[in-house]
Each structure stands twice: as structure tokens, then as C-alpha cells.
């Protein structure tokens, strides 16, 4: 008998992966956590019915989350990751010797436990001496921090359930206060195709633009997220995501990557017209607006 993991993108469109075994299912105080073994994507982590990571393509998401801002920031020493309990973002950050401390603020300790058990290759860096794990609500943690971080990564779930506050304007303002003068914020920014994701994307973009002098989005191809086209936001008090990137310095570090490279970095900020129009609120032609 075939068993399927199903994620509904809308009431009428869904994505399915057959699994060979359900390795765990747990209702934590915050959310439902599931891990499945699949043939095509390796192990997959699902939270509240939404696919978070697959062993096959998580590198794309985590490389684009980390290497884009790291190629721009001239010297990131203090980094904050909010969410990211799987450890994928931390794994990529640890490849930079100039990073001295990483605070990981994950609301749900059960996610970390599950990932340490089932995804050791992704979560392995969480025990590194440079990393401090705080099991706390990121919206509360951030309030105490002023001019502390060079880089803040918001590696969140979707804006339903525990992830919701991580898309709020007050939270973004607190992130801005917690960043040093040349700090950068990168956030999980949803996607333009399906209406629910699009609404979240537009709301996040508007709020970030209200808080930060510079707020842009960049895209990457994520096979197992709705529509395959996914976005991160890049916000700063001045540093430009392409003009201020130092690609030579990045390449000198000889970090081997499966997706990220300087051409991809530049191209990620080149947006298709329909997306530009959506973000500017001028999408009158109806491209992808259904």
C-alpha cells in the first residue's frame, strides 16, 4: 500500500510525496512535528502539515539564506538566527571563520530534538562552541537586544501558528534596533504564486519597507516548496545586496556550495515583471494574480 505525504497549496492544488515509513509524529506544545522516510527526497521534516526540509534540496534554501548576506557584509562577527531549529542555517554560518557567536532562538525545543535524531548531517553544528541555543519566543528575545548583531536570519515557518509574530511590524522594528549600523536582516519571505503565500509575501514586504531604508527580495528555485519559486527578503540600513557584495573576497574563502555562486547571487535579485508589479502594487495585468 502506498502512503503519501500531502501538502495542500490551495483547496484545489496539492503536492504529494510517497513515503516508505513514518519515523515520528509528535504534537509539541507549539505544533505537530512529523518525519517521513521517502525514496525520492530522503528524510523529510513536516510541521503542521507544511514541508520544512527534505534531505535532497535543503542545501538550496540554507545556502541562499546564509551566503547572500555573508557575501555582502564586510565582517559579520555576531549572528542571530530566529527559528532554524533544524540547524541548516547554522551549518552554513559555521563555514565562516570570522563569525564568532551565533545565537539560535528556537521556540520549540522538540524540533531541535527531532532534527538531532533524524537529520544529524543538517543539525550537527548546533553543538559547536560558537553556537548558543535559546529555547524561547524570538519576538520576546529580540526586545532586549540593541545594536548587538551584524546579521539576523529569520528562518521561520509560514505565518500561521508560532511563526506568525515573526512577520509582524513591531518584530521587524525590534530587529532593526538589534542590528548594528551596517547590519543585515534576511527573512523567509514566502512566495508569489498561490494567493495565501502571496498575501503573506506582500504584507512582509510592506512592513519591512516601512522599517528599513533598504528592503528587497530575492528568489531561488526550491523544488519542494509551493510553485518551486521561493523568496527571501534582504533588508539593511544601507548596504546594497548586489553593489556592496564583495564576490572576490567571497570566492577567496573557497566555500564549496551546491547552488550559491556570485552569478546566482546577482541573478537572484533580478525579478520577473509580474513579481515586481505585485510588490509595487501595480499588478493590473493579471499575470499570476489568480
Give me the residues that bind ligand AG3 (CB under 6 A), please.
50-53, 61, 84, 86, 88, 155, 157-158, 188, 225-226
With respect to ligand AG3, which residue has the nearer C-beta, 83 or 283?
Answer: 83
Residue 155: active-site member: yes
With respect to ligand AG3, which residue has the nearer C-beta, 160 or 271?
Answer: 160
Instruction: Find the length of the chain.
Output: 290
Phi and psi dihedrals of 141, rounded to 5? -55, -45
Find the Cα–Cα–Cα–Cα dihedral 285, 287, 289, 290, rounded to 10°: 110
With respect to ligand AG3, which residue has the nearer C-beta, 149 or 232?
Answer: 232
State the alpha helices, DSSP H only, in 188-236. Answer: 195-211
Determine the Cα–Cα distance for residues 177 and 144; give it in Å rounded to an integer.
Answer: 10
57, 103, 108, 155: which one is catalytic? 155
CB of 85 to ligand AG3, least distance (A): 8
With respect to ligand AG3, which residue has the nearer C-beta, 69 or 88?
Answer: 88
CB of 51 to ligand AG3, least distance (A): 4
CB of 252 to ligand AG3, least distance (A): 27
Pairing relation of β-strands 3-8 and 14-27? antiparallel
Determine the Cα–Cα distance for residues 139 and 167; give it in Å rounded to an integer.
Answer: 10
CB of 50 to ligand AG3, least distance (A): 4
Determine the Cα–Cα distance for residues 214 and 276; give it in Å rounded to an integer.
Answer: 15
Q: What angle do CA 216, 229, 34 make, to 5 degrees?
A: 110
State the catalytic residues: 155
Amino acid at each position: 500500500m502506498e502512503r503519501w505525504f500531502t501538502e495542500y497549496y490551495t483547496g484545489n492544488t496539492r503536492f504529494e510525496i510517497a513515503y516508505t515509513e513514518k519515523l515520528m509524529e509528535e504534537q509539541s506544545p507549539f505544533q505537530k512535528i512529523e518525519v517521513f522516510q521517502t525514496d525520492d527526497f530522503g528524510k523529510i521534516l513536516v510541521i503542521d502539515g507544511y514541508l520544512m526540509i527534505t534531505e535532497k534540496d535543503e542545501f538550496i534554501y540554507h545556502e541562499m539564506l546564509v551566503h547572500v548576506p555573508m557575501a555582502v557584509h564586510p565582517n559579520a562577527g555576531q549572528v542571530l538566527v530566529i527559528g532554524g531549529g533544524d540547524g541548516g542555517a547554522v551549518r552554513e554560518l559555521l563555514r565562516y571563520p570570522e563569525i564568532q557567536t551565533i545565537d539560535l532562538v528556537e521556540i520549540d525545543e522538540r524540533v531541535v530534538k527531532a532534527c538531532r535524531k533524524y537529520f544529524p548531517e543538517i543539525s550537527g553544528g548546533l553543538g559547536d562552541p560558537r553556537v548558543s541555543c535559546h529555547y524561547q519566543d524570538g519576538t520576546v528575545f529580540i526586545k532586549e537586544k540593541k545594536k548587538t548583531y551584524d546579521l539576523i536570519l529569520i528562518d521561520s515557518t509560514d505565518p500561521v501558528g508560532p511563526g506568525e509574530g515573526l512577520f509582524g511590524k513591531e518584530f521587524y522594528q525590534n530587529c532593526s534596533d538589534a542590528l548594528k549600523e551596517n547590519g543585515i536582516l534576511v527573512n523567509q519571505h514566502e512566495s508569489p504564486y498561490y494567493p495565501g503565500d502571496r498575501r503573506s509575501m506582500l504584507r512582509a514586504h510592506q512592513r519591512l519597507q516601512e522599517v528599513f531604508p533598504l528592503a528587497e527580495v530575492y528568489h531561488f528555485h526550491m523544488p519542494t516548496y509551493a510553485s518551486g519559486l521561493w523568496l527571501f527578503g534582504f533588508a539593511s540600513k544601507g548596504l546594497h545586496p548586489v553593489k556592496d557584495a564583495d564576490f572576490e573576497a567571497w570566492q577567496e574563502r573557497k566555500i564549496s556550495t551546491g547552488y550559491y555562486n556570485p552569478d546566482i547571487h546577482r541573478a537572484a535579485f533580478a525579478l520577473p515583471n509580474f513579481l515586481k508589479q505585485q510588490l509595487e502594487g501595480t499588478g493590473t495585468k493579471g499575470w499570476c494574480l489568480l
